[in-house]
Amino acid sequence: MFASPVSRPVLLTKENTQMPLSNLTVSRSQASWIASAILVFAGLVFVSIPNLMRSRNAADQASRVARLRNAAAFATTESPLQWTIQNGAMDLVVSRPSEVLERIRQLADAATGFTVTSESRGADENQSASVTIRVPQLKFKEVHEAIRKMGIRVDGEHFEAQDLTKQYVDQAARLRNLRAQEAQYLGILKQAKNVKDTLEVSDKLNSVRGEIERQQAEFEALSKQVEAVALTISLRAEEEAQVFGLHWRPLYQLKFAAKQGLDGLGDYAASMASFLFYLPAVLLWLATILIGAAVGWRILRWAGKALFVPRAKPA
């Protein structure tokens, strides 16, 4: 058998503990490269962080804008931002009210609108008229300007708007609930197993559908009112003369005074006719009261004599 070699201890001396100079130089070079790389990486990170933050903020903002647009689109389809009914009134002085009335009707038809009511009164210089039209909101400004140009002057204008947003939202919510009930009843109807259940569910389903039709009709009428603007135009003839630079209408004033006088005479005649018709009834009531008073007076006198006047004793 062979003997195992005996390991000898190695003495550490100054010569064998020192590394070669070439190895030490390479290590320092590598350390400088590593330090440079770290500095460059840190600089890149330092520069890119603000850009990354800005990109992230831009992405968040774009996402918020997209969500807002989607919400706005949903709100537009489900419920508009604001629903209003617009109404207006004009007092227009024209030369010939009947002709202007016909022109306004034609203007409303040309603007895809329609005439609601129209009325003409009087004749010649004392003629007047009134008309109510409905035109789309997009064409209202154009129609309004055209009507203003038809008259000699505009004595007055009044416009107002009524907010119906809450009414619209409530109407839409009721329709959604009714349609949900309709879907539920349809599901129950499919699962009905006997004639009794089928008839009960069918009755409820018909009731809900009738309510849906009624609510839908109201909703469509509301939509038509919102889509169009109602404008009432009062037309009157202009008969005036320039006197000392002042607007004076002698014929109109005379006719107005005559009309007031005739109205007064008419009121007087109506009052007298009423008095004459009621006079017999008044006379009958007076006669009844007088006769009753006379009879009552005689009864009181007779009762007084019978009770308080002493009778004469016989001799």
- Residue in the structure block whose two tokens are 């007088």: 290
**Average pLDDT of the chain?**
74
| pLDDT confidence band for 242 (50 / 70 / 90) | very low
| pLDDT confidence band for 132 (50 / 70 / 90) | very high
Interatomic CA distance for residues 235 and 122, integer angstroms: 12
Bridge partner list, 162: 85
Q: Report the DSSP pairing between strands 84-94 and 241-243.
A: unpaired
The amino acid occupying position 271 is: S
SS (HEC) of the chain: CCCCCCCCCCCCCHHHHCCCHHHHHHHHHHHHHHHHHHHHHHHHHHHHHHHHHHHHHHHHHHHHHHHHHHHHHHHHHHCCCCCEEEEEEEEEEECCHHHHHHHHHHHHHHCCCEEEEEEEECCHHHCEEEEEEEEEHHHHHHHHHHHHHHCCEEEEEEEEEEECHHHHHHHHHHHHHHHHHHHHHHHHHHHCCCHHHHHHHHHHHHHHHHHHHHHHHHHHHHHHHHHEEEEEEEEEECCCEEECCEEECHHHHHHHHHHHHHHHHHHHHHHHHHHHHHHHHHHHHHHHHHHHHHHHHHHHHHHHHHHHCCCCCCC
**pLDDT (0 to 100) of residue 68:** 39
Per-residue model confidence as pLDDT tens digits over 243-287: 444 555 666 667 777 878 888 888 888 888 888 888 888 888 888
Question: Which structure tokens are listed for 291?
Answer: 């006769």
**pLDDT: is 2 or 252 the higher one?**
252
Average confidence (pLDDT) over 191-215: 86
Q: Is the pLDDT of residue 135 over 50?
A: yes
Interatomic CA distance for residues 253 and 243, integer angstroms: 14
Per-residue model confidence as pLDDT tens digits over 113-131: 889 998 888 766 667 889 9
Q: Is the pLDDT of residue 144 over 70?
A: yes
Q: Is the pLDDT of residue 191 over 80?
A: yes
In the chain, the percentage of residues whose pLDDT exceeds 70 is 65
Question: Which structure tokens are listed for 113?
Answer: 């609108």
Q: Is the pLDDT of residue 27 over 80?
A: no
**pLDDT: is 22 or 97 the higher one?**
97
Question: Which structure tokens are listed for 205?
Answer: 């389903």
Question: Which structure tokens are listed for 108?
Answer: 């409303």
Burial of 235 (0-12, 13-18, 19+ CB in 10 A): buried
**pLDDT (0 to 100) of residue 169:** 84
**pLDDT (0 to 100) of residue 37:** 67
CA 106-111-112 angle, to 5 degrees, is: 100
Q: With 0.75 as the threshold, say if the pTM is over it.
A: no
Q: How many residues does the chain have?
A: 315
Q: Is the pLDDT of residue 151 over 80?
A: yes
Interatomic CA distance for residues 92 and 34, integer angstroms: 91
- Report whether 101 contacts 228 (CB < 8 A): no
**pLDDT (0 to 100) of residue 298:** 84
**How large is the angle between the packed helices 97-110 and 137-150, nearest 10 degrees?**
160
Range in 147-151, 164-168, 277-281, 303-307 the model is least confident about: 303-307
Q: Is the pLDDT of residue 302 over 50?
A: yes
Phi, psi of 231 (to 5 degrees): -130, 125
Per-residue model confidence as pLDDT tens digits over 42-85: 666 565 565 555 555 445 544 444 443 443 343 334 444 567 78
The domain limits of the chain are: 36-71, 83-259
Interatomic CA distance for residues 137 and 112, integer angstroms: 11
Q: Is the pLDDT of residue 171 over 80?
A: yes
